[in-house]
Amino acid sequence: MILVTGGCGFIGSNFVHLLRRERPDEPVLNLDRLTYAGNLENLLDLEGDAGHRFVRGDVADADLVAGLFARHEIRAVVHFAAESHVDRSLLGPGAFVHSNVAGTQVLLEAARRAWDGGGGRFVMISTDEVYGSLGPAGSFTEDTPLDPSSPYSASKAAADLFCGAYHRTWGLPVIITRCSNNYGPWQFPEKLIPLMIQRASRGESLPVYGDGLHVRDWIHVEDHCRAVLAVLESGAPGRVYNIGGGNERPNLEIVRLILRALDRSEELIAFVADRPGHDRRYAMDSSRIRRELGWEPCVPFEQGIAETIRWYADHRDWWERIISGEYREYYARQYEGR
């Protein structure tokens, strides 16, 4: 059985679907706290699937996690669960320490005790943001020193260091993946692409931070999930794998592309105060995972973004339900007076 944490969030739910599709004989235990970002609707089509079991709970709850390891034969952990949004980490960093740092350490400890006699595999889903920011040239390799800018990325870097420590000290077979910005179906509409799609669809202003020339390296979530599966099955314990789309775009270009696709005016663009500590540019050197595991991204950006825009049009009920709840209060706190 594979323990997937955070399997009701954006990337986690896409990964659970991939596993159930591609590895139907491998049961999945999905541990998710169902925070504002976790949504069981993302997994509705798995209702009645005996190979998918959902447990609602906190990865930082040591008794709960130890109980899961005691009751189930967990041969691998794929750890997605985290507070994932940089802007929220500026509004309240404490939750990021709890879920991302303490939560990861609790899982590592439970895995260490359960796999004491050998075996097991622990895949830590980290991020390119642990490396900090790039200038106009170059890209992050796995040897780039950690230099996180935000409370979010600091919490992910701390979690990565705990992973390294458990590997070095106790030989726990931990593998770390660091991926660039994902887009695709089921992404919570606080992140750039779904935020802009839903606001443009409703004819609302599109808040672009600073000059809009910050660059991200976009990858389709399906390509990320296939990379994680390759690492789970063939990655070397103790190793870090960078995963990137090789697709760098300034934010403004993404926003303009969405406006064109939805036939909306560029007058909706509203330049707002920059994000404090905003990383200027990310770019990933993914040559290690390409060379060693034979992975490469398959979804061309133009195709992926067009499909994603269509997906949000077809799933308007899903995101309208989200933006009618807690989200409204968050949006007001994050953007009002900016």
Selected binder of ligand NAD within 2, 3, 4, 9 (CB under 6 A): 9
Residue with token string 């992973």: 163
195 is in the binding site of which of ligand DAU, ligand NAD, none (Cβ under 5 to 8 A by kind)?
Answer: ligand DAU
Nearest in space to 146 (alpha carbons), one of 136, 166, 161, 162: 161
Residue nearer to ligand NAD on the CB measure, 193 or 257: 193
Contacts with ligand NAD in 283-322 (CB under 6 A)? none
CB contact at 8 A, 43 and 16 = yes
Q: Is 302 noted as a catalytic residue in this protein?
A: no
Q: Which 172-191 residues touch ligand NAD, going by CB under 6 A?
A: 179, 181-182, 188
In the complex, what is the shortest distance from the CB of residue 203 to ligand NAD, in angstroms, rounded to a whole number?
Answer: 26
Pick out residues in 39-78 that bind ligand NAD (CB under 6 A): 58-60
Question: What is d(CA 150, CA 165) in angstroms, rounded to the nearest whole number?
Answer: 22
Q: 25 to each of 30, 55, 72, 145, 158, how far by Cα in Å?
A: 16, 20, 16, 39, 34
Tell me the residue nearest to ligand DAU as measured from the CB. Answer: 127
142 is catalytic: no
Binding residues for ligand DAU, per CB under 6 A?
Answer: 84-86, 127-129, 180-181, 191-192, 195, 207-209, 214, 216, 251, 275, 282
What is the C-alpha R_g of the chain? 19
Name the minimum Å distance from CB 281 to ligand NAD: 15
Alpha carbons 300 and 313: distance in angstroms, whole number? 20
CB of 331 to ligand NAD, least distance (A): 16
- Selecting among 32, 128, 160, 279, the annotated active-site residue is 128
Query: Among ligand NAD, ligand DAU, none, what binds residue 251 when CB lies within 5 to 8 Å by partner kind?
Result: ligand DAU
Contact window for ligand NAD (CB under 6 A) among 3-11, 21-29, 66-74, 326-334: 3-11
Considering only residues 147 to 176 of the shown chain, the ones binding ligand NAD according to CB under 6 A are 156
Task: Residue count of the chain, please give it.
Answer: 338
286 binds, among ligand NAD, ligand DAU, none (CB under 5 to 8 A by kind): none
10 touches ligand NAD by CB under 6 A: yes
According to DSSP, the β-strands at 122-127 and 76-79 are parallel
d(C-alpha 103, C-alpha 115), whole Å: 18
Active site residue 129: yes
Could you tell me the smallest distance in angstroms from the CB atom of residue 192 to ligand NAD? Answer: 9
Q: Which is nearer to ligand NAD, 121 or 156 (CB)?
A: 156
Sequence-ordered list of residues with C-beta below 8 angstroms from that of 92, at least 6 positions apart, any chain: none
Q: Which two tokens stand for residue 104?
A: 């990861």
Task: Read off the tokens for 317.
Answer: 């009920």
Q: Given the residues 58, 83, 129, 190, select the one marked as catalytic.
A: 129
Q: Give the count of residues interacting with ligand NAD (CB under 6 A).
A: 30
DSSP label at 182?
A: E
Q: How far is the CB of 13 from ligand DAU (least distance, A)?
A: 15
Please give the biggest Cα pair distance in the chain. Answer: 62
Is residue 242 a contact point for ligand NAD (CB under 6 A)? no
Q: Which ranges of the chain does DSSP label H, i.e. alpha helix?
A: 10-22, 62-71, 86-91, 94-96, 103-114, 151-170, 192-201, 221-234, 251-261, 287-293, 301-314, 316-323, 326-335
CA atoms of 17 and 334, how far apart (whole Å): 32
**Residues designated catalytic:** 128-129, 152
* Interface positions with ligand NAD (CB under 6 A): 5-6, 8-12, 32-35, 37-38, 58-60, 80-84, 99, 103, 125, 127, 156, 179, 181-182, 188
